[in-house]
Amino acid sequence: MDRFPFVRDDGVVRLPPGFRFQPTDEELLFQYLKCKIFSSSLPAPIIPEVNIYKYDPWDLPGNLEQERYFFSNKETKYPNGNRINRSTASGYWKATGVDKQIVSSSRNNQMVGMKKTLVFYRGKSPNESRTDWIMHEYRLVNAGTAPSISSLPQASFQ
């Protein structure tokens, strides 16, 4: 049996007809990311592991017209630093706004994770141009350099 029965070799997710993958933020954190960090089995092994910062958003696997999810490890920009390298061949991902706290209703409204919104900019500063590509990065609190889940929502892309 395939390790990821719903993910083809090219990374495209193909769910059976009628199935939809629409997890809540809390489900992404506990049913997928936490299981990935602790090497537990996933409820549905349909999220591929991809270093998303090595690809431009339009080159990532999956259908451009659907929301896509990826597990990705964070790589630091400098050997002794904490700054994450979010550069690609054609531009970079820039964090925007304030990170959103994810609170668990099943855990006495305790904060369990964070959701960061990033926007893709084509080019390099100061001549970059903002695009319509948006990504949400999820992380568990107190997980340090553990893998994160990234989601590229369906949108109109340039």
Give per-residue pLDDT as tens, 34-76. 998 888 888 888 888 888 888 999 998 887 778 888 998 876 6
Domain contains 89: yes
pLDDT value, residue 1:
36
Query: Strands, DSSP E only, in the chain?
Result: 68-72, 91-104, 110-122, 129-140, 148-152
pLDDT value, residue 77:
66
Give per-residue pLDDT as tens, 95-148. 999 999 998 887 788 888 999 999 999 999 889 999 999 999 998 886 554 566
Domain contains 45: yes
What's the structural domain count of the chain? 1
Q: Which domain CATH number covers 98? A: 2.170.150.80
Domain contains 29: yes
Domain contains 49: yes
Residue 140 vs residue 11, higher pLDDT: 140
Domain contains 8: no
- pLDDT-derived band at 79 (thresholds 50, 70, 90) equals low
Range of the domain at 102: 25-57+66-152
Which residues on adjacent β-strands are paired with residue 130?
Answer: 121
pTM for the model: 0.77
Half-sphere exposure of 20 (CA within 13 A, CB side): 5
Dihedral angle over CA of 34, 71, 12, 132, nearest 10: 120
